[in-house]
Amino acid sequence: MQLVVQKCELVDISSLDHLLNIKGLEVFLDSDILPADFSGYILHVDQNGLSLSSSLNPTASPTRVDFSDEALQYRLQTSKRSEGLLKAIGLDKYSLPLTVMDATAGLGTDAYIMAAMGCEITMFEKSAVIAVLLEDGLARGQAAVDPVIRMDVGRMSLNFADAGDYLSNMHDKCAASPGSSDPTTKPDVIYLDPMFPPRQKTAKVKKDMALLQKLLPINEDIDSLLEKALGCAGKRVVLKRPGKHSKQASPKPDFQVPGKSCHFQVFLIK
């Protein structure tokens, strides 16, 4: 993947260095013209924050994380607790605060929906480019004019790490000293929304998801992530999958909850 940073002259990008190795990246100014043969992704930085676009799709509006986005806020106002995601995590069954580990955070939309309903969300994202977009969105959310958005975003924290590694460590610690393991460190729910291969039949994939599908590798480790999550969740594991339902899922979920163009497999911890 070829990635360059394009920035406005007034903006200092050294704060991105802990996620992106800026020194290893080519940085252009807004006034610069990118090389004619450039083919890849452009991380744009200006006073409004970060956004990502692809040189292969120059007319598409850039992808950014914006929790104040009107469509997202409208979705929250209208769907409330009827969202399949919220039923799948058991919001109608358990009392708050419900702790959720979002092991595949992406652009943080699902995490924000859960946080807006009062859940405490710990996110994991292993792609540096996505993590930097998400971190930028969180920073803007924490400074939002709307106090409700500030409060919701305040329930979200981000780890730039591979959730599989984190879960393996957690699993080893619990196995080494089962009696002394602190149950409060186990998240109530572990949520997995991995990258699936793009489906031929899907009519239209949302713009941001289309970018992610081009940019990120498909998760080959879904089975192992699920197995580790099942060993580390307190109450349930939720796996989001494309399509209306899975006929022959393995391991077999306790039940499935339909979503709009996806469904959620729910595994209860007995």
Ligand X SMILES: C[S@@+](CC[C@H](N)C(=O)[O-])C[C@H]1O[C@@H](n2cnc3c(N)ncnc32)[C@H](O)[C@@H]1O
Which tokens is 50 given? 């970060």
Shortest approach of ligand X to residue 145 CB, angstroms?
Answer: 23
> Rounded to the nearest 5 degrees, what angle is found at the Cα of 149, between the Cα atoms of 143 and 151?
85
Residue type (1 letter), 57: N
Which C-beta is closer to ligand X: that of 16 or that of 156? 156
Which C-beta is closer to ligand X: that of 219 or that of 261? 219
Largest interatomic CA distance in the chain: 62
Residue nearest to ligand X (CB): 106
Shortest approach of ligand X to residue 37 CB, angstroms?
Answer: 27
**Could you give the 3-state DSSP secondary structure of residue 90?**
coil
Residues binding ligand X (CB under 6 A)? 103-104, 106-110, 124-127, 130, 162-164, 193-195, 212, 216, 219, 225
Q: Cα(260)–Cα(183) distance, rounded to whole angstroms?
A: 34
Which C-beta is closer to ligand X: that of 110 or that of 152? 110
Which tokens is 174 given? 């619990």
> Rounded to the nearest 5 degrees, what angle is found at the Cα of 114, between the Cα atoms of 108 and 116?
95
Shortest approach of ligand X to residue 234 CB, angstroms?
Answer: 20
Shortest approach of ligand X to residue 33 CB, angstroms?
Answer: 30
- Choose among 11, 15, 59, 63: nearest CA to 215: 63
Shortest approach of ligand X to residue 9 CB, angstroms?
Answer: 30
Which C-beta is closer to ligand X: that of 16 or that of 163? 163
Name beta bridge partners: 46.
49
Which C-beta is closer to ligand X: that of 119 or that of 225? 225
